[in-house]
């Protein structure tokens, strides 16, 4: 700006003092000077633009490098996750991811309102892992059909096919299943066939009872020889089917017994399994009754039933299967708790106690129970009017 001002001042002086020729020459010099300045400005602008483009290119290049690195890192993480999922699917005995397996069982059991029944094909120790996985799978059909035919099949939700192969790595496979299903109540039937000669059935249940001591229940059945083991001729189909039916029946009864524990402790439902077993199986009915009587102890401990209801329930179960001595013992304890006045028993439990004592042929004790029933009813009326505790 200073040089331009000086040129204009010179031009002004020439215009006042100089000739026309001098003026023209000076104008020509000014034009050349301005042209040079314009060219210099153009070069400066182009140079700045070039520097800006280089800077922008560097920024873009840096962004592209960061973007490529970020995409590569995401790709590596996705690949690692996919590899882990593939390994889990390969190692797990179920055909789903752990989350999908949980969702499947969760929906089928309505969030754990009913336990799930899972049946794993039995492992044969004379076959390789792949041969066991390929099948044919032993005893699955027999166990499933026996369960579905049982009168108590609605006590569990059968999910046949949820397990794709036998539990070859038995303990680890069970841990896989337990970890995947977490808090859901499950009864798992599995087993092993040893040297094509005998069968080792087993049952594992967890989350059936909300108790640290009973969070997981393991039942190991005694080994059963396969038909025809000690015979020269191979067994016929009838003997094989009879063996499988017996195996399926045993597992169905045991699973039903554990289901009774669940429904009594969780919902207070009176056990009924022992009444659904054929009378001809009297020894089995008595064993089941003993197991059901024990379930009342757990229900009492968890606060699901009061002591009178628990003892009356035990007496009823024992009475149903002809265990008179045990029934009298349980009924006597119920009567003592009722007469003590410290047990807040429901009137229907005391009424049932009187009926049980009558059935046992104990009329005096039955009359005492009816007197206790009248006293309990009187106390209930007084409480309704606010006249008693």
pLDDT at 343 over 80: no
Fold agreement between 92-268 and 270-389: no
Instruction: Record the tokens describing residue 67, joined without a space.
Output: 């973007």
User: Is the CB of residue 252 less than 8 Å from the CB of residue 219?
Assistant: no
| Better pLDDT: 101 or 16 | 101
pLDDT in tens, 233-267: 677 788 889 999 999 999 999 999 999 999 999 99
pLDDT in tens, 145-204: 999 999 999 999 999 989 988 998 899 999 999 999 999 999 999 999 998 889 999 999
Rounded (5°) CA angle 139-191-286: 85
Greatest CA separation for the chain = 155
Local structure of 94: helix, strand or coil:
strand
Domain boundaries, the chain: 2-86, 92-268, 270-389
Position 235 scores a pLDDT of: 75
pLDDT above 90 covers what percent of the chain?
48
Architecture of domain 270-389: Alpha Horseshoe (1.25)
Domain 92-268 has what CATH class? alpha beta
| Better pLDDT: 154 or 215 | 154
At 31, is the pLDDT very low, low, confident or very high (cuts 50, 70, 90)? confident
| Least confident range of 171-185, 304-318, 368-382 | 368-382
pLDDT at 143 over 70: yes
Position 17 scores a pLDDT of: 52
pLDDT at 80 over 80: no
DSSP string, 183-227: TS-EEEEEEEEETTTEEEEEEEEESSSS-GGGSEEEEEPPPEEPT
Position 89 scores a pLDDT of: 53
pLDDT (mean) for 66-83: 68
Per-chain mean pLDDT for the chain: 84
pLDDT at 315 over 70: yes
């Amino acid at each position: 700006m200073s040089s331009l001002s000086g040129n204009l001042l010179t031009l002004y002086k020439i215009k006042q003092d100089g000739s026309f020729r001098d003026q023209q020459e000076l104008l020509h010099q000014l034009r050349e000077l301005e042209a040079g300045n314009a060219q210099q400005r153009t070069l400066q602008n182009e140079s700045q633009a070039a520097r800006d483009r280089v800077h922008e290119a560097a920024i873009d290049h840096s962004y592209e490098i960061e973007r490529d690195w970020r995409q590569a890192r995401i790709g590596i993480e996705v690949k690692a996750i996919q590899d882990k999922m593939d390994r889990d699917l390969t190692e797990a005995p179920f055909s789903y991811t752990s989350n999908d397996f949980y969702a499947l069982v969760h929906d089928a059991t309505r969030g754990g309102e009913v336990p799930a029944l899972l049946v794993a094909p039995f492992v044969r120790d004379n076959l390789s892992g792949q041969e066991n996985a390929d099948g044919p799978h032993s005893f699955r059909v027999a166990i499933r059909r026996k369960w579905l035919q049982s009168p108590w099949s609605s006590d569990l939700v059968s999910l046949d096919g949820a397990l794709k192969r036998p539990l070859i790595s038995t303990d680890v496979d069970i841990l896989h299943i337990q970890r995947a299903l977490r808090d859901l109540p499950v009864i798992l039937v599995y087993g092993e066939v040893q040297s094509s000669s005998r069968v080792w059935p087993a049952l594992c249940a967890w989350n059936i009872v909300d108790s640290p001591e009973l969070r997981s229940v393991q039942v190991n059945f005694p080994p059963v020889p396969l038909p025809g083991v000690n015979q020269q001729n191979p067994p016929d189909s009838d003997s094989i089917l009879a063996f499988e039916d017996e195996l399926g029946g045993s597992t169905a009864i045991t699973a039903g017994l554990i289901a009774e524990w669940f429904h009594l402790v969780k919902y207070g439902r009176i056990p009924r399994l022992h009444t659904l077993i054929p009378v001809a199986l009297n020894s089995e009915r008595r064993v089941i009754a003993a197991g059901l009587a024990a379930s009342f102890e757990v229900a009492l401990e968890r606060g699901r039933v009061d002591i009178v209801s628990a003892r009356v329930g035990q007496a009823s179960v024992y009475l149903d299967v002809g265990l008179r001595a045990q029934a009298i013992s349980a009924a006597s304890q119920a009567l003592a708790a009722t007469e003590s006045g410290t047990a807040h028993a429901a009137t229907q439990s005391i009424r049932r106690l009187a009926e049980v004592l009558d059935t046992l042929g104990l009329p005096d004790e039955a009359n005492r129970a009816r007197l206790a029933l009248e006293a309990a009813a009187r106390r209930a009326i007084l409480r309704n009017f606010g006249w008693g505790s």
